[in-house]
Amino acid sequence: MLTRRDAGLRAHSHQYALPGGRIDDGEDAVAAARRELHEEVALQTAPDHVLGLLDDYQTRSGYIITPVVIWSDQASTMVAQPGEVEAIFIIDIDELDRPDSPRWIDIAESDRPVLQLPLLNRLIHAPTGALLYQFGEVAVHGRLARIDQVEEPIWAWR
């Protein structure tokens, strides 16, 4: 599942993203991820729906993202919450395994490659693209893949 963030959000508005947000006092990353799923797309999950964690991703804008992989068979009940999410997209696992994906681009501003993940007739960049790439490699193919050297496009550095 992928969302498009609401246009009115202060940070990263209108970007494609996975549900998420800050960890509240008393929460860990798993509890925060489950709460954010409910707040952003009205999806209620139980602790035993959590399959595991992927690598943390430190963004150029100063955030550390801890990806939590959660299973649910209730995708049809999701609703984009106004002010948080503009749209929800269900991504078929086969989309993560396309022959034209991922794309790696070299840029002069960094020695790390920029990732472009073709999805939804768009190019999804890091950090979201990096998280989806790692999920596909690890969960779908059982291959070790690290994302700490995956670069974001320059426009995301703010």
Mapped onto helix, strand or coil, the DSSP state of residue 106 is coil
pLDDT surpassing 80 at residue 12: no
pLDDT surpassing 90 at residue 107: yes
pTM for this structure?
Answer: 0.92
As given in the structure block, the two tokens for residue 135 are: 């999920």
Read off the pLDDT of residues 15-25 as tens digits, 9 standing for 90 and up: 899 999 999 99
Instruction: Give the span between the Cα atoms of 125 and 130, in whole angstroms.
Output: 7
Q: What are phi and psi of 85, to 5 degrees?
A: -130, 130
CA distances from 155 to 26, 54, 147 (A): 34, 25, 19
Read off the pLDDT of residues 115-151 as tens digits, 9 standing for 90 and up: 999 998 999 999 999 999 999 999 889 999 999 999 9
Question: Burial, 120: exposed, middle or buried (Cβ in 10 Å; 0-12, 13-18, 19+)?
Answer: middle
Mapped onto helix, strand or coil, the DSSP state of residue 50 is strand
Let me know: does 134 contact 147? Beta carbons within 8 Å.
Answer: yes
The residue ranges of every structural domain in the chain are 2-156
Q: What is the mean pLDDT of the chain?
A: 93
**Considering only CA atoms, which of 103, 104, 72, 106 is closest in space to residue 90?**
72
Residue 10: alpha-carbon gap to chain centroid: 18
**% of the chain at pLDDT higher than 70:** 100
What is the CATH topology of the domain spanning 2-156? Nucleoside Triphosphate Pyrophosphohydrolase (3.90.79)
pLDDT surpassing 90 at residue 8: no
Read off the pLDDT of residues 33-83 as tens digits, 9 standing for 90 and up: 999 999 999 999 999 999 999 999 999 988 899 999 999 999 889 999 999
